[in-house]
Amino acid sequence: MTFLTSFFLHADILHLVGNMYLLLAFGGGVEDYLSRKRFGLLLIAATLAGGLGHTILDPHSNIPLIGASGGISGIITFYALQFPRSRLGFFIQYRWGTIPVWGAFIL
């Protein structure tokens, strides 16, 4: 159960805003492509996989499992595989820029 409930916890406001931005940027396209039900299943599966990966890679970790990063990473991965030529727009240091979607996947 912790794997799913950790999805709703975040370290701070920047962590929450970052996850919400990525969900907004990629979630709509993935949901349109899959349907609402399959999108929900993908998000749950990616969240569980992220939690399992956290546990398997460092079973004695003292770092708590919080945030939606595992689920969001699954959404970004799906988006990058389905729409490899897409670009992500962002605003940083008073300038607008774009990076390929695989760049967001790497980040």
pLDDT at 1: 66
pLDDT at 8: 79
Task: Assess contact for 75 and 17: CB atoms under 8 A.
Answer: no
pLDDT at 35: 94
Tens-place pLDDT, residues 36-80: 999 999 999 998 888 888 888 888 888 777 778 888 989 989 998
Helix (H, G, I), strand (E, B) or coil at 51: helix
pLDDT at 33: 96
Tens-place pLDDT, residues 9-36: 777 888 888 888 889 988 999 999 999 9
pLDDT at 78: 94
Give the burial class of 102: count Cβ atoms within 10 A of its Cβ; 0-12 exposed, 13-18 middle, 19 or more buried: middle
